[in-house]
Amino acid sequence: MAKKSSKKKSLVIDENACTPEWTELLRKMIFIRRYEEATEREFRRGKIGGYLHVYIGQEAVVTGIQSAANQDDLVFAGYRDHAHALLLGSDPGRVMAELFGKGTGVSGGKGGSMHLFDVENGLYGGYGIVGGHLTLAAGAAYALRYQETERLVVCYFGDGAMNIGSFHEAMNMAGLWGKQGMCPVVFVIENNGYAMGTSIERHSALTDLSARVEAYNIPSEKVDGQDLFAVRGAADRILRQVRETGRPYCIEAITYRFSGHGAADILQPYRTKDEVEAQRSRDPITILRNRLSEICGLTDEDVQEMEEWAEAEVKKAVEFAEESDPPDPEELYRDVVSEVAD
Amino acid sequence: MAEIIMPKMGDAMTEGKVVRWYKKQGDAVKKGEPLLEIETDKVNLDLEAEEDGPLGEILVQEGSMVDVGTVLAVIGGAAPAKDAKKQPAPEKKEKAEPAEAAPEEEQEAEPSEADSEEKGEPKKKAEPAEKPPKDDETKKPAPASVDKSEAPAPAGDGKHVRSSPLARKIAGELGVDIASVSGSGPAGRVVAADVKKAAEGGAKPAAGKVAEASASGPRPEREKSALPEYQKLKDETIPLTAMRRTIAKRLAESIGPIPHFFLTIEADVTELQKVREQLSDISGAKLSINDFVVRATALAIHHHPIVNASFTAEAIEQHGNIHVGIAVATPEGLITPVIRDADQKGVDAIAAEVRDLAGRARNRKLKPDEYQGSTITISNLGMFGIEEFTAVINPPNAAILAIGAALEKPVVVNGRIRVREMMRITMSCDHRVIDGAAGAQYLQSLKVYLEQPLRLVV
Amino acid sequence: MAEKSYRDAIHEALMEEMERDQNVIVMGEDIGVYEGTFRITAGMLKKFGPKRVIDTPIAEAGMVGTAVGMAMLGMRPVVEMMTMNFSIVAADQIVNHAAKVRYFSGGQVDVPVVIRGPHGAGVQLSAQHSQSFETFYGHFPGLFVVAPATPADAKGMLKTAIRGKDPVIFLESPALYGIKGEVPDDPDVLVPFGKSRVAREGSDVTVVAFGRMLHLSMKTAEILSSEHGIECEVIDLRSIRPLDIDPVIESVKKTHRAVVVQEQWKPYGFGAEIIASISDAAFDELDAPVVRVTGADVPMPYARNLELLAVPHEADIEKAVRQVLYK
C-alpha cells in the first residue's frame, strides 16, 4: 500500500535563521489584524448583520499552526473563523462578501460570519454551536484514514467548548479510534481564558485544559499562543506526528482576545480595561515583529510597507463586498437537500 | 479625513442618539480622544476620534436620534459636500419593517350579517321548514384516542346552516336550497346524504343565488330586532279615560307636576360609529353621533306614536309632527333649539342644522320658534364622559332622552366576550302619558335604529 | 421474489449496499461483536471487519456527529440508534448539523448519512423508550424522514437512503421486525421517497397511516369489510418528509371522508399535518371533518393495561370510521 506523497511546508524550524517565510507570516498576521478591524468597522456601519466574532489578539495561533499544515489538510473551526478562511487561501473579497450577505460570498451568502466554508481550500466550516463541530472533525479524520490518505484534520475551538456534551463524546471517540491510528486530528484549544463572558476559573472545574483532554488518552501540550515561533515549532512537530501515527493530539494555545467576544460585547463587564491593556503588551504581532527585527533586521519601513499593503488589500475586499449583489431569491430554496423533491 | 458615524453597537441596534458633544467645530482633536457621548439601545458611551485633526462641522446636534451609519461629523479635510450630508442610510436589509398591520378589527361581523340577513328577509318569507331534528347525540364521546373534532354545538343561531362542504357543493349542483334540508349530522349538520335525499324528495329550489342560500338558515321564532308596524302620524286628541285621570292625579300628587319614571337601555353603536365615519368622509363635514341619535329618535316614534304626545288636563294630545329638541348648555343656562320634522331630514341636514342652531343658541341669537315647539327632547352629556344620567322632562313633552357617552366595553356576544362601543340612553317618561311598557317598547325600537344604522340613512 | 421478514430485509439491504460500495459503513452500539440488539447487523463484523462495522461507545452525539464528518468527506455511514429514543441525545448533531451544513455552506458539501433505528411503543418499555419520531424530525427542512411498513419497502427505501446524498432518518419499529412479506431479489430495486402507496382500495372512507398503524388499519379494514360492509381505502404514507399527499387527495375525492391513524400524541402530531394538507387541497370534497385516531396524551406508562389504553386499537379506528360515515 503505497503512501501518497504530499506537499509540505518547511520541515526544520531554525529559530535563529531568518527565512522569507517568517516575514511572510508577519505580513499575514498584519493582514488578518487589519481585516478583522475592518469587519468591526463594517459591522458598526450596519453592513454586517447578526453576530461577528473577530480574531484580534489571537493571530499567532492559527497562523503558526496552519503554516505547518499541508495544502490538502482540512480545517474545522467554530464561529470565530475569519482568520482561518483567509489563511487557507479563501479570497478576502468573497469572505467579506459572505459577511455582508452577498451572493458572491464563500457560502453563497447563506451562512454568514459563523459559517465560512471553502471546501476547495480545505475549510469545512464555520459552526455556530459551541463544541458541536468536534465530532464532525473526528469523523472527517476517520474518513481520511479510511480513504488511505495522509491528510489530517485541524480542529479549532475555544476553552468555552470544553464543557459541553459533544466535546466529551468527540474526545472519547477520537481517543478510541486513535488507538487504531484511525483519527489523525489535531485539536487546537484557542484558550483565551473566557467562554464568552465567563472566565475559565468560573466555567471549568479543572482549569488545566490539557489534562482534561489527556483523560481521553489524547496527548496534549500547552504552547504560548502569542509567540508565533513557539506555536509554529510545536505545530511542525505535532502535525508530523499525527500524520505518521494517525493518533489525535491536542495543542492548548494560551492566547488572548483583545476585542470583545462578539461585536455586541462592548462593555465587557467580565474583565477590566487594565487587564486588556496588560495583555496588549503581549500582542503577537509586536512579539513577532521584534523577533524579526532581531534575527532578520526587519525595519520599520518594512513593517510600514506590510501595513500599507494590508490596508490596500482590505480596502479591495470591502469594495468587492460593497459592490456585490445579494443572493438571487431562488437561492432561498436551493441546497436544502441535494435533490429538491418539489 | 475620518468620518465619525453612529456605530452599530449591537446586532439589533438600528439607531442611536447624540447626547453631548465634548468638542466643537474647529477644535483640534487627537486620536483616541473622546469626541461625543452617544446613547444606544443598551448603553451610553463615548465615541473617540480615530485620527488627529481639526473637528469639522458638527452635522448632528445634541438630542438628535439618527440611524446607524449616519455621519455625525468629520475630522480633518474639508467638510463633506452638501449631498454627502444627506446621510445615506446604511443598507438595513436586516431591519424589518415594523409589521404595522392595521389594528385588526376584533369585532365579529355578526351584527352586519344580521343586518344583511334582515335586508334579505323581505324577499324570502319567514318559513322555517321542518326544524332540524333533535341532535343525534347518542354517539357518546369516544375514548381519549379518537378525536371527536366536533364539540356538541349549540342549536343553530339562526344565521348559519351547518353543512359539510360536500353537502354545499352537491346542493349547488342539484339546485337544492340547503336551508330547507334537514341535517342528520351532529348538531344538525346537513351532510351529502341529506341533500341527495332532499333532491330525490323534490326539495325547494334555492331562491336567488344558491351561494347565498348556504349563508341563511331557518327563521327563529322571535327576532328581537324586529320592529312593530310603521305608522304615519296625525294630530289626534285622545280623551282621558277615567283610569287615566286617576293615574294622573295620584302620580302628580306623589312626585310633582310631572310624574317621571326612568328607563335605561344600552345600544351597541359600534356599527353606527363606522357608518358615521364613512359618511363624515363622504360628506366632508364632521357628523356627530348625536346627529344620528336625533334621526333615530324621530324614526322610532313612528312605531310608538304615544311617545310623541303631551298631557293636558282634558286629553292626551298626540302630535302629528316630530320636532326634536336638543338641549344645549349656554352660559346663561339650558336652552333647547328644535329640529323640526326631524323624521323628514337626512342625517347631514340634521347635522348642519344642529351646528347652526347650537351655535346661535350659545350666542343668544335664537328666534322663539327655533326653541319652542318640540315634541320630544334629547339631552346628550356624552362629551363630558357621562355614561348615564336622568334628565327632567321638558314640558309639554312627554319624554326626554338622556344620551350617555359611547364607550368601548367588553360585552357578551353569542357567548363570547367582545369589545364593542356601547351607549346608554335613559328615557324619562311622563307616566300620565306613557306607561312602562310603552316606554320600554319605544326604547327597543330606538335601539334597533341605533344598532342597524343603515336604517337611518335610507 | 421471496418472502422475508422486515428484519431480514433490512439486514439484506445493509449487506448488499456494503458489498456494492466501499464507502458504506455501519456504526452503532453493540452492532459488531454483539451483533445488534435486534440482530439486524448479525454477521457483519465478521464479513466486513472493524473499520467498516464500528462498535461505538454509548455516545449518540458522538456517533452521529462523527458520521456527519465522515459523510462530508464522501463516506456513507449508516448509524444505528439502538432505539430512536436515544437520538434525542444527538438532536443537535442531527438538526443543527446534518440537516443544515449543506445549506449554510452554500451547497459545498453533501451529508449522505443514514440514521436508522426502531421507534414507537414496544412491550412495556415505559416512557423513555416508547416514543415515535415522525413529528420530531419531520419538521426540519434538510432531512429526509421515512417510515416503511413492509419488508419490501424497508429494503428498497434503505437502499434509496444509503445511495442518496442527503441525511435520512429511517424509522423502523420493533413490532414490525417480525412481519413477513414479499421482497424482490434484485439488489438494485429501490423504493423512492416521497411516494405514498394505496395499500387497500375502497370507496367508503380514506384511512391514512404509516408503520405499525398501517397494519392496524388494514386489520380494521378487513373487519369493517367482512362484518359491516364498509370498504376502507387505506393509504400507506411511507414517506414522512417529503410527504406525498396526492394519493390521499385522490382518495378523498372518491370517499369524501378520512381518518388519520397515528400511534402517538395528538397535539402537533403528524395527523394534524395530514388534515391540514387535505384541507388545503380537498376541502370541498369533505362530507365530514377529518378525524384523528391517536395515542393518549400521556408519557407511556409501564403497566400493561395502561399501556394498552395508551395506544390505538381496531375499535378506535372503527369508531372514527363510523363517525365520519355518520353511521
Residues of chain C whose C-beta is under 8 A from some C-beta in B? 256, 266, 271, 283-297, 309, 311-313, 316, 319-320, 323, 326
Which one, of B447, B453, B402, B449, lies nearest residue B267 by Cα? Answer: B447
Q: Which pLDDT tens digit goes with each residue over A184-243? A: 999 999 999 999 999 999 999 999 999 999 999 999 999 999 999 999 999 999 999 999
The yes-or-no verdict on residue B110 having pLDDT over 60 is no
Q: Which pLDDT tens digit goes with each residue over A173-189? A: 999 999 999 999 999 99
How sure is the predictor about B253, in pLDDT bands with cuts at 50, 70 and 90? low
Whether B313 is in a domain gets the answer yes
Contact C137, C145 (CB under 8 A): yes
B202 and B292 together in one domain: no
B299 and B182 together in one domain: no
Point out the residues of B that are catalytic: 431
B406 and B447 together in one domain: yes
C169 and C276 together in one domain: no
Cell of B436: 312602562
C311 and C255 together in one domain: yes
Host domain of residue C228: 197-325
B191 and B280 together in one domain: no
Q: Which pLDDT tens digit goes with each residue over C151-191? A: 999 999 999 999 999 999 999 999 999 999 999 999 999 99
Contact A267, B43 (CB under 8 A): yes
Strands B53-58 and B71-75: antiparallel
Interface test with B, best of A41, A44, A114, A325 (most B CBs within 10 A): A44
Whether B147 is in a domain gets the answer no
Contact B271, B115 (CB under 8 A): yes
Q: How many CB pairs under 8 A join B and C?
A: 65
B328 and B370 together in one domain: yes
How sure is the predictor about B215, in pLDDT bands with cuts at 50, 70 and 90? very low
How sure is the predictor about B208, in pLDDT bands with cuts at 50, 70 and 90? very low
Whether B108 is in a domain gets the answer no
Chains in contact with C, where contact means 3 or more Cβ–Cβ distances below 8 Å, are A, B
Q: What is the ipTM of this complex?
A: 0.89
What is the pLDDT of chain B when averaged over all its residues?
Answer: 77
B283 and B421 together in one domain: yes
Check which CATH number belongs to the domain holding C117 and give it: 3.40.50.970
B446 and B301 together in one domain: yes
- The amino acid at B351: A
Whether C108 is in a domain gets the answer yes
Which one, of A161, B454, A337, B239, lies nearest residue C168 by Cα? Answer: A337
**How many structural domains are present in chain C?**
2
How sure is the predictor about B307, in pLDDT bands with cuts at 50, 70 and 90? very high
Question: Is C193 in Cβ contact with A138 (below 8 Å)?
Answer: no
The yes-or-no verdict on residue B207 having pLDDT over 80 is no
Host domain of residue B74: 2-83
Q: Which helix (H) or strand (E) holds C307?
A: helix C304-310
Question: Is C288 in Cβ contact with B145 (below 8 Å)?
Answer: no
Q: Which pLDDT tens digit goes with each residue over C67-89? A: 999 999 999 999 999 999 999 99
Closest Cα in chain A to B71: A45
Say what the pLDDT of residue B32 is.
Answer: 82
Average pLDDT on B60-88 reads 71
**Sheet strands side by side (includes A74-76):** A74-76, A153-158, A185-191, A249-254, A220-224
Say what the pLDDT of residue B401 is.
Answer: 96
Kindly state the percentage of chain A with pLDDT values over 70: 94
B131 touches chain A (CB under 8 A): no
Whether C165 is in a domain gets the answer yes
Whether B149 is in a domain gets the answer no
Whether B435 is in a domain gets the answer yes
A-facing residues of B in 42-61 (CB < 8 A) are 43, 45
B382 and B434 together in one domain: yes
Q: Which helix (H) or strand (E) holds B420?
A: strand B416-430
Closest Cα in chain B to A102: B93
The yes-or-no verdict on residue B121 having pLDDT over 50 is no
Which one, of B47, B49, B4, lies nearest residue B31 by Cα? Answer: B49
- Any residues with CB less than 8 A from the CB of B67 and at least 6 apart, and which? A46, B6, B14, B15, B87, B89, B90, B92
B193: chain C residues, CB-CB within 8 Å: 287, 326
Say what the pLDDT of residue B84 is.
Answer: 41
Average pLDDT on C15-20 reads 98
Q: Which pLDDT tens digit goes with each residue over C227-285? A: 999 999 999 999 999 999 999 999 999 999 999 999 999 999 999 999 999 999 999 99
Nearest to A129 among C57, C69, C92 (CB): C92
The yes-or-no verdict on residue C139 having pLDDT over 80 is yes
Last residue of a domain, one of C151, C183, C215: C183
Check which CATH number belongs to the domain holding B413 and give it: 3.30.559.10
C169 and C267 together in one domain: no
Last residue of a domain, one of B185, B218, B251: B218
Distance from CA of A173 to the nearest CA of C (A): 7
Last residue of a domain, one of C183, C218, C247: C183
Pick from A163-172, A212-221, B142-151, C37-46: least confident = B142-151
Q: Which pLDDT tens digit goes with each residue over C281-306? A: 999 999 999 999 999 999 999 888 89
Nearest to C266 among B147, B164, B193 (CB): B147
Q: What percent helix, strand, coil does chain A show, rounded to 5? A: 50, 10, 40
C103 and C219 together in one domain: no
What is the pLDDT of chain A when averaged over all its residues?
Answer: 93
Say what the pLDDT of residue A261 is.
Answer: 92
Whether B244 is in a domain gets the answer yes
Question: Is C323 in Cβ contact with B146 (below 8 Å)?
Answer: yes
Question: Is B5 in Cβ contact with A47 (below 8 Å)?
Answer: no
B26 and B174 together in one domain: no
Q: Which CATH superfamily groups domain A23-321?
A: Thiamin diphosphate (ThDP)-binding fold, Pyr/PP domains (3.40.50.970)
d(CA C140, CA C60): 19
Question: Is B7 in Cβ contact with A45 (below 8 Å)?
Answer: yes
Instruction: Name all contacts of C247-254 with Cβ < 8 Å and 24+ positions apart.
Output: C247/C196, C247/C197, C247/C198, C248/C196, C248/C206, C248/C208, C248/C274, C248/C277, C248/C278, C249/C278, C249/C281, C249/C282, C251/C198, C251/C206, C252/C206, C252/C278, C252/C282, C252/C285, C252/C286, C253/C282, C253/C285, C254/C203, C254/C206
Active-site residue identified among C17, C29, C60, C273: C60
How sure is the predictor about B250, in pLDDT bands with cuts at 50, 70 and 90? low
Could you tell me the residue ranges of all domains in chain A? 23-321
Whether B102 is in a domain gets the answer no
Kindly state the percentage of chain A with pLDDT values over 90: 88
- Any residues with CB less than 8 A from the CB of B55 and at least 6 apart, and which? B23, B24, B25, B26, B27, B28, B29, B35, B49, B73, B74, B75
How sure is the predictor about B216, in pLDDT bands with cuts at 50, 70 and 90? very low
C295: chain B residues, CB-CB within 8 Å: 145
Check which CATH number belongs to the domain holding C319 and give it: 3.40.50.920
C140 and C225 together in one domain: no
Average pLDDT on B276-284 reads 87
d(CA B258, CA B399): 10
Q: Which pLDDT tens digit goes with each residue over B14-42? A: 889 999 999 988 899 988 889 999 988 76
Which one, of A130, A196, A185, A123, lies nearest residue A163 by Cα? Answer: A130
Highest mean pLDDT among A12-26, A116-130, B356-370: A116-130
C195: chain A residues, CB-CB within 8 Å: none
Pick from A145-159, B146-160, B372-386, C46-60: least confident = B146-160
A314 or B327, higher pLDDT = A314
Nearest to C105 among A117, A338, A342 (CB): A117
At A102 the three-state DSSP class reads coil
Interface test with B, best of C252, C263, C287 (most B CBs within 10 A): C287
Contact A92, A122 (CB under 8 A): no
How sure is the predictor about B161, in pLDDT bands with cuts at 50, 70 and 90? confident
Say what the pLDDT of residue B203 is.
Answer: 52
Question: Is C56 in Cβ contact with A341 (below 8 Å)?
Answer: no
Query: What's the predicted TM-score (pTM) here?
Result: 0.68
Say what the pLDDT of residue B205 is.
Answer: 58
Check which CATH number belongs to the domain holding B183 and give it: 4.10.320.10
Say what the pLDDT of residue B225 is.
Answer: 57
Cα angle: A45, vertex A51, A52; to 5 degrees: 70
Closest Cα in chain C to B151: C289
Which one, of A95, A270, A87, lies nearest residue A192 by Cα? Answer: A270
Question: Is C25 in Cβ contact with A165 (below 8 Å)?
Answer: no
Cell of B438: 310603552
B422 and B276 together in one domain: yes
Which one, of A142, A170, A167, A137, lies nearest residue A155 by Cα? Answer: A137
Whether C30 is in a domain gets the answer yes
Closest Cα in chain B to A43: B8
B308 and B205 together in one domain: no
Which residues lie across from A199 on neighbouring strands? A194
A226 or B240, higher pLDDT = A226
Residue B10's alpha-carbon distances to B41, B42, B47, B63, in angstroms, are: 8, 8, 15, 21
Contact A114, A261 (CB under 8 A): no
Query: Got the DSSP string for C43-108?
Result: THHHHH-TTTEEEPPS-HHHHHHHHHHHHHTT-EEEEEPSSGGGGGGGHIIIIIIITTHHHHTTS-
How sure is the predictor about B458, in pLDDT bands with cuts at 50, 70 and 90? confident
A-facing residues of C in 264-323 (CB < 8 A) are none
How many beta carbons lie within 10 A of that of residue C124, not counting itself?
A: 14
d(CA A206, CA B261): 87
Q: Which pLDDT tens digit goes with each residue over B337-346? A: 999 999 999 9
Average pLDDT on A282-302 reads 94
B2 touches chain A (CB under 8 A): no
Check which CATH number belongs to the domain holding B70 and give it: 2.40.50.100
Which one, of B332, B299, B157, B151, lies nearest residue B230 by Cα? Answer: B299
C137 and C216 together in one domain: no
Say what the pLDDT of residue B281 is.
Answer: 86
A51 touches chain B (CB under 8 A): yes
Nearest to C106 among A110, A165, A338 (CB): A110
B194 and B246 together in one domain: no
C148 and C92 together in one domain: yes
**How many structural domains are present in chain B?**
3
Last residue of a domain, one of C183, C214, C230: C183
C101 and C175 together in one domain: yes
Question: Is C297 in Cβ contact with B192 (below 8 Å)?
Answer: no
C10 and C132 together in one domain: yes
